[in-house]
Structure 1
Amino acid sequence: MEPDPDPSRFRDLMLDSEPGFEEVLRCVFGVQDHEARLYIELLDAPDSTVAELANQVDRDRSNVNRALSTLLDKDLATRRRRLLDSGGHVYQYRATPPEDARELMHDTLDEWAAYVHERIDEFPDGEA
């Protein structure tokens, strides 16, 4: 995943004096509330299927599928295919381990800070 240092994503986080983990996750990765909650659910229930997750978070399967796609795109989840004894297959999802997610967050924030430093360096000298 290539981090996107969109400064507007960080505005609310900077204004919140004590942001929680989900707020930081939403801000840094640009995910929505239900996607952040789904990541937390995956931490608690690794190798869940879409149907199991939909039941756990009380959302329909199409919403869960879209949220999982976002988490996969952001490298916050992985998917593996499991063959069923009855034939066919099912996909199981697992959250990216917190230590890896933390590293991704640090990398994204470092990139954002570098972006801000570049903007600061572009300020005029003040000499007319």
Structure 2
Amino acid sequence: MLILYLMSLFGGSYENSKTESIQSQISLFTVLIAVVSAGIVSPVYEEIFYRGFLYRWLRTRFGRGWASFISSAIFMAAHIPTYNTLAISFVAGLIFAWTYESTKSVIPGIIVHGLTNTIFVLLTAAG
């Protein structure tokens, strides 16, 4: 949320093709599909891949700091073409890597990732 606020100070916006799609065809069904997709499905496979596999592999070769940075940069790049939210994706990647490192499990990262995405979907639908 802090990053969104900072972006707004410099004329940035969180709106992109995904937010426009949700807002233009808003219904209980589309919000439910968006929550299932962004809040459940994506966090499971993204955390298994980016933290469970990629971050762990990078950590054995480059250490925690570089592994966090590189895996977060790759995570951010995977979220293109939503260019206006890339900073959020990068910072989220760092937080999810820290969550994995702190717990040695992808499950807490899946939960945090899912809750974050769900909150953003609901805010977008309400906005």
- State TM-score, norm by structure 1: 0.36
Which structure is richer in relative contact order (CA contacts within 8 A, separation 6 or more)?
2
* TM-score when normalising by structure 2: 0.37
Structure whose residues are more often strand by fraction = 1
More helix by share: 2
Decide which structure has the larger Cα Rg and report it: 1
